[in-house]
Amino acid sequence: MGCIIFETCGTDGDVLPFIRIGRKLLNYGHRVAIVTHSYYESIAKESKLDFISVDTPAEYAQFINDNASTSQNPQGHIFFLKRHVLSRVLRTYDKIKNYYVPGQTVIFSKSPGFISTIVSEKLDIPRVMCFFAPSFIMSKEFVITFYNLLKDDIISIRKELGLHSEYSWEKWWKSAERNIGLWPDWFEAEKSDSINSDSIYIERVGFVVDSSEFCDIPDDVKSLINDKEKPILINSSSSSLFINSDFFESSIKACEVLGQKAIIVGRHKEFMPANLPKGIYYFSHLPFGYLMTEAKAIIHHGGIGTSAQALASGLPQLVLAGGVDRPDNAMCLKRLGVGEYLLPPQWNYKCVMESLQRIITSKTVKEACLSVAEKMKKDNPIASICNIIDSILNSKERKMNKDKLYYEGNEFATLKKCDYDENNFHEKNDNENDIDKLIKNYSKEKLELALLLLTKSSPTTLGKESLIVKQPRKEGINIFPLTYYQERFWFLNKIEPNSLALNTFSAYMIYGNLNVEALEKTFNEIINRHENLRTTFGEIDGKPVQFVLPTIEFRLPVIDIQGDDRNNQNLEVERILSTKSYEPFDLSKGPLIRVLLIKLSEDEHIIWWGMHHIINDGWGSTVLIREIKELYSWFAYNKKHNLSELNVQCPDFAVWQRTYSNKGEKKDRMIKYWKKQLEGCNFKLSLPSDYTRPLVRTYNGSEELFYLPKSIRTKLKTLSNEVGVSLFMTLLSAFKLLVYINTNEHDIVIGSPVSGRNSEVLENLICDLTNMLVLRTVIDENDRIYDVMHKVKETALGAFQNQELPFQEIYSVLHYEIEPGYSPLFQMMFVFHEIFPQEKEQFLEGLNTRYLNIKKKVSQFDISLNMFDDNEEGLYGKFEYNTDLFSRETILKFVNQFKELLEVLIENPDLKISELCVKINDNYHQKLIKGEKEENVLDIEKDIVDADSDNGAGYQIYKIL
């Protein structure tokens, strides 16, 4: 007989299944020990298992507290593992070393198995790694990141044990003799989503549940369950992390209103009301295996242990799911038809009451529960596990990585044979007979598919941490973290919930016979393609998350104003678009895209759409235009569109960004750059204002537009090429010089957005992936203009190379204290746009379209200069400004000065900055003396109108807006 060691850390769902398996192995005559927390000593000994504690009662109490407070975010989880798992490897090793029997021992551990992996290698014990649910299988990319964050600690432990310090994630992840999944294959979200654990084969044996028929039940509980009216069970879980007052209040109130008797079981009485309503009873611990068979339904947190036990008992389940695997499990339960689930935003008694009433009265749910329970009776997971352990013990020759067909998705993908030695994994090709025998066990079709998939694998893409991959999606609402960029907007919205500064919008005039039905179908398809357009935002346990809704039914609102005359139509259009464009968004309620069609006549319409900045940026707007063009032609004229399938979505980028981006040496390098670059900056620099700055920052704003003809653009482009800079850098240099001239400050800090779409898979997404760069240039009065241009170039290139550090982390590492009256780090912004062809061409087939400018009423910063490059016509400019700081006259002065600056740059780029200031001021004053101020004001408006179009109706609307 053998010696079996079960090693696990966690709560009831992690420990009790191992104790149940251990009891069975005792019957086979094996020697069995459980290595776990001191809390489970009495339960283990009642089951006649040998017990090895990894902690003291006080340490276990700290373990539970930290599990609740720290372990459910990446940084906290790493801290948790270091404090409560890795710190105990050495002392646990000593205890196991004194217990095991050389050559006759198998160690059985829960994944990721840090303790058992090291102990197994040091003592040469075969290891079985156990996964408790499909969601516990980590992708290769996550495994690598997860391991690398703990690598130094693991190598340090290995050195103390005399093990080789060269160790990789692959040796850790793939070193188990067998990998077992404690769930049946029918529990997975979809049959097509079979587990791919990056070259480890998972043997799914089924749920290990409590099958005890007789339990010691207190008399007062027996009287409750022997009543004619069966109770509702409310299970509060072993950990308090996802169980709070909302969980209890909503569950208890729902039962009370429905007149349902309820039994609450769990440790966390502190979260419950002081006085329970009549018919609601609390117990700190009861044997659930028996209790579930006597209940009407169960409300619980979604842990796999409780879910499985309820399935075996044929009990309808209502899951209040939150965090880690709980939503995944809940979605699997819903797919099986055995109940419903609610996410934290729905944790109120009305939602709980309605769902509970449905599952306890539904005949369909009851039949599904009984069907699944019957199916589980046919599984014998403990017997399967015992057979696996016996096969390892009886094996004459143990290899740490057996011959396997590894599979990808639902089919076999690669065929390999490996061997293991103390220092290396390597390919082994000297035993063709064994491979031949293995091949004979599989059908010709599967082997052909294996070879086909193998040939399709691209070695250039394997193991790259930069690869953004699609994350699994489950039925119903999916929960993901926010991107760092979304997080910035989320916190801005928290500070100023009704702020209009983050509203984005566009409007177009449409001439011709518009197919309204096709246009509605177009937007429906776009919303279906892009998850970001059906995403809302909220919090779970104080952390912002995004909720991706499975579908949104879109209807295109049409406002018909055909009966009005042209003047009244213009006034009404102005009112409608101004109202819609500045209507606040509630991020917790979707959709965060709004679309409106205004009908002026049978052949004239205006299409308007608006979004919150958290779901879209400028690049995404061009993607939207392109998709409208393609899909309208599809629905209106049945022309096949050329849009490619979206391989990833914004949530996939968010997971990748938080898993791989800005880690280790790369992050350290970027932090070092920004600290050095921004040391000693004047972050409050702004152009001189007309009014006193409010104590709290406001967003009231306006804009002034101007135009630079094509001749000026051509000369600026030529100058840029001669100096060796881009047009962006030349225009930014001019803006910085404008600030210098008006402030006499040498240290100029201006912000500028940069697109984070540095991967091909992100180019076709409608989402916001912009980060803010802080561009600092120190100007000396003895510099020449081209010196400033080179300084700006150097600053820009350095910023671009370190652009991935999120803006909020920049001011965090600088220990910058945000002041209510100022935006963080800079008060002025410069934005350079290329006008994409989609904005100029007719994007609705068979129709003429024109862009309409809706005048801004908000400003995110003191002043923002937006420049639009149009190869064919010239340069458009727009100054957005805060009207609580600046008057229109002052902004017009800045516009004229900027134009003057550009002309001087073109004519005399070697002019000294000290001479430039005199020249610009002299030119401006000369124009004032000549009375050109009023003319320039008119020129700004006239230039835009003339450059845009001479179409009568469009001109009138454009001018009004």
For residues 596-604, average pLDDT: 93
For residue 882, pLDDT over 90 is answered with: yes
**Is the pLDDT confidence value at 830 over 90?**
yes
940 pLDDT above the threshold of 70: no
Select from 292, 254, 252, 255 the least CA-distant residue to 269.
252
Q: Report pLDDT for 797.
A: 86
- Average pLDDT (876-894) is 94
User: What rounded mean pLDDT belongs to the chain?
Assistant: 80
d(CA 438, CA 419): 16
Average pLDDT over residues 711-736: 90
The average pLDDT across 497-524 equals 90
| Residue 317: predicted pLDDT | 93
Answer for the pair 331, 341: CB distance below 8 angstroms, yes or no: yes
Per cent of the chain over pLDDT 70 is 80
More confident residue, 680 or 953: 680
* Rg of the chain (C-alpha set): 33
Please give the sequence-ordered ranges of beta strands (E in DSSP) within 321-473, or none if there are none: 339-342, 404-408, 411-416, 418-420, 425-427
Q: Which pLDDT value is given to residue 152?
A: 83
Task: Look up residue 854 and give its DSSP letter.
Answer: P
Average pLDDT over every residue of 874-878: 90
For 715, counting Cβ atoms within 10 Å of its Cβ (0-12 exposed, 13-18 middle, 19+ buried), the class is: middle
* Confidence label for 378 from pLDDT (cuts 50, 70 and 90): confident
> Strand 848-852 to strand 503-511: parallel, antiparallel, or no bridges (unpaired)?
antiparallel
Are 795 and 777 in contact, with CB atoms under 8 Å apart? yes
Inform me whether the pLDDT recorded for 265 exceeds 60: yes
Answer yes or no: is pLDDT of 444 > 70. no
Average pLDDT for 16-27: 86
Backbone angles phi, psi at 506, to 5 degrees: -145, 150
3-state DSSP percent of the chain in helix, strand and coil, to 5: 45, 20, 35
What is the per-residue pLDDT for 140? 67
Which has the minimum average pLDDT: 369-378, 655-664, 773-782, 869-878? 655-664
* Residue pointed to by tokens 């916190």: 491
Between 128-132, 280-284, 591-595, the lowest mean confidence (pLDDT) is in: 280-284
> How confident is the model at residue 75, as a pLDDT?
65
Q: What average pLDDT score do residues 521-543 get?
A: 91
E strand or H helix at 890, and its extent?
helix 888-907
Domains and their CATH numbers in the chain: 3-206+382-398 (3.40.50.2000), 219-377 (3.40.50.2000), 478-652 (3.30.559.10), 699-758+766-841+849-960 (3.30.559.30)
Q: What is the pLDDT of residue 448?
A: 40
Measured between alpha carbons, how far is 526 from 2 in angstroms, rounded to an integer?
61
Q: What's the half-sphere exposure (Cβ side, CA atoms, 13 Å) at 653?
A: 26
Question: Helices 933-948 and 888-907 meet at what angle, rounded to 10?
Answer: 80
pLDDT class of 558 with cuts at 50, 70, 90 = very high
Q: Which residues contact 419 (CB under 8 A, 6 or more apart)?
A: 399, 401, 425, 426, 428
pLDDT in tens, 143-190: 777 777 888 888 888 888 888 876 777 777 788 888 898 888 888 765
Rounded to two decimals, the pTM is 0.53
List C-alpha distances in Å: 270 to 266, 405, 476.
Answer: 11, 51, 32
- Looking at the predicted structure, is the pLDDT value of residue 863 above 90? yes
Bridge partners, 734 (sequence order) = none
**pLDDT confidence of residue 72:** 54
Lowest mean pLDDT segment, chosen from 44-53, 457-466, 683-692: 457-466
**Tens digit of pLDDT for each residue in 620-662?**
888 999 899 999 999 999 988 888 889 899 999 888 888 876 6
Main-chain phi, psi angles of 412, to 5 degrees: -75, 140
Alpha-carbon gap, residue 147 to 209, rounded angstroms? 31
Confidence class for position 135, pLDDT limits 50, 70, 90: confident
Write the Ramachandran bin of 184: left for phi over 0, alpha for psi from -120 to 50, otherwise beta. beta
d(CA 289, CA 375): 17
* Least confidently predicted of 355-369, 431-445, 873-887: 431-445
Q: What is the pLDDT of residues 766-814, one digit of tens each?
A: 998 888 999 999 999 888 898 899 899 989 988 888 888 888 888 888 8
Q: What is the 3-state secondary structure (H, E, C) of 89-127?
A: HHHHHHHHHCCCCCCCEEEEEECCCHHHHHHHHHHCCCE
Q: Looking at 458-586, list the stretches that DSSP marks H as alpha helix, in order from N- to C-terminal side.
A: 484-495, 516-529, 566-581
Q: Which residues contact 163 (CB under 8 A, 6 or more apart)?
A: 118, 121, 122
Strands (E), 835-941: 848-852, 863-870, 874-882
**Whole-number pLDDT of residue 706:** 92
For 700, which DSSP code?
B
- What is the C-alpha separation between 212 and 287, in angstroms, rounded? 9
- Is the model's pLDDT at 941 over the cut of 80? no
Mean pLDDT, residues 450-478 taken together: 57
Backbone torsions φ then ψ of 112, nearest 5 degrees: -85, -5
According to the model, what pLDDT value does residue 778 have? Answer: 94
Q: Each residue of 654-688: b (16+ CB within 10 Å) or e?
A: bbbbbbbbbeeeeeeebbebbeebbeebebebbbe
- For residues 62 and 87, the answer to whether their CB atoms sit within 8 Å is no
Nearest to 399 by CA among 418, 415, 386, 427: 418
Q: What is the pLDDT of residue 113?
A: 83
Q: What is the pLDDT of residue 254?
A: 92
Taking 90 as the threshold, does the pLDDT of residue 865 lie above it? yes
Question: Packing angle between helix 710-723 and helix 785-801, nearest 10 degrees?
Answer: 80
